[in-house]
Structure 1
Amino acid sequence: MKKTFFLIVSVVAIIAISVSCKDNGLDLEKLRAEEIQKLEEFIEKNDIQEEPTASGLYYIEREKGTGDTIKNGDRVKIFYTGMLIDSTVFDMSGTYEPFDFIVGGSGVIAGMSEGVTHMRQGGKGTLIIPSELAYGASSSQGLPRFSTLIFDIEIKNHYKLSTEDTEE
């Protein structure tokens, strides 16, 4: 009797877990589809003519910088404002103290590292970063799952630390 009861409880638990995983999968697919739709609407509404990179990142140059193009492994200091696609500000660098990181390192999301590699010191631009280059299905940093992020950035300082070729 105990074995039969245990077997029935186990089967019910497996079915419940399976259904729950499928429901979560559908919800995640729906959230991802909504993100794509919102991104497409944002691009159209704001008349963005730039094409995304192969990864899906949009880089919009606002002011051209000088010097060498930033490469993975370089150190940069940037001022930034991070927003959700609905313009809600969720983060910003300090007014007087720029954010400092190694490009391609573990300190920032992939979209930020990729984005600054299109820039030079003193440059200003906007990055439109789809969730797969940010936090994806996680609700990290208090952000909703599948959040497209927009960063207005300025490269304050660029220190060449990489050994990559500087050719363009």
Structure 2
Amino acid sequence: MKRLLTALLALTLFISCSKDKGASIDYVAKNELEIKEYIAKNNLTAQRSDTGLYYVITNPGTGIQPTASSNVTVAYKGYFTNGTVFDQSTTGISFGLNQVIKGWTEGIPYFKTGGNGILLIPAHLGYGSSSNGPIPGGSVLVFDVKLNSVN
């Protein structure tokens, strides 16, 4: 009888552990709180889109406004809410907005050429729960962006 109880306990633990293995973490609520705290701490006036992207338009720009499928050149600094920089390009890089993370595809079209501001991107619009280079899964990404041109 003791062996049967031990076997049942072991089987129960095995099943509950194997269920957790494939589960992905939902960062939506955690990211929302982290972004709101960052906005408050830095006295930002940010807008929130329906998808959960937050953006601050410092200068809307006066040139061409890109679409989600435009090719653009953007100067940027990418960092976490704690200020740690993970990537930047001061001269600008060119890419198709349909080839980058969803937060950029949605956020860059808020600016016209010459415009700049901040994108606060929750994980579900960035890299999700997967790590990517120096970016841990579930991370909120903050980008200072300047739209240099729509190509």
Residue type of the partner of 2:96?
I
SS in 1 for 2:110: coil
Partner residue in 1 for 2:101: 109
CA shift, 1:15, in A, is 5.4
Partner residue in 1 for 2:17: 19
1:69 lines up with 2:65 in the alignment: yes
Q: Separation in 1 of the partners of 2:59 and 2:125?
A: 24
Residue type of the partner of 1:141?
G
Classify 1:150/1:78 alpha carbon distance in 2 versus 1 (closer, same or farther; 3 Å).
same
Partner residue in 2 for 1:78: 74
Q: Which moved more, 1:57-66 or 1:84-93?
A: 57-66
SS in 2 for 1:117: helix
CA shift, 1:39, in A, is 2.1
**Aligned residues with identical type, % of pairs:** 32
Q: Separation in 2 of the partners of 1:34 and 1:74?
A: 32
1:150 lines up with 2:124 in the alignment: no
Partner residue in 2 for 1:49: 45
SS in 1 for 2:133: helix
- Structure 1: state its 5+ residue gaps: 1-7, 160-168
**Which of these residues, 120, 127, 130, is aligned with residue 112 of structure 2?**
120
Q: Separation in 2 of the partners of 1:158 and 1:49?
A: 26
Q: Which has the higher strand share?
A: 2
TM-score (norm 1): 0.74
Q: Separation in 1 of the partners of 2:83 and 2:61?
A: 25
CA shift, 1:63, in A, is 1.6
CA shift, 1:101, in A, is 0.8
1:28 lines up with 2:20 in the alignment: no
- Structure 2: state its 5+ residue gaps: 1-6
Residue type of the partner of 1:50?
A
**Which of these residues, 105, 117, 125, is aligned with residue 133 of structure 1?**
125
Classify 1:58/1:33 alpha carbon distance in 2 versus 1 (closer, same or farther; 3 Å).
closer
**Which of these residues, 74, 82, 100, is aligned with residue 94 of structure 2?**
100
Q: Separation in 2 of the partners of 1:17 and 1:51?
A: 44
Deviation by residue 1:97-122 (Cα, 9 ceiling, x = unmatched): x211112x22x111011111101111
Q: Separation in 2 of the partners of 1:138 and 1:130?
A: 13
Classify 1:21/1:48 alpha carbon distance in 2 versus 1 (closer, same or farther; 3 Å).
farther
CA shift, 1:145, in A, is 1.7
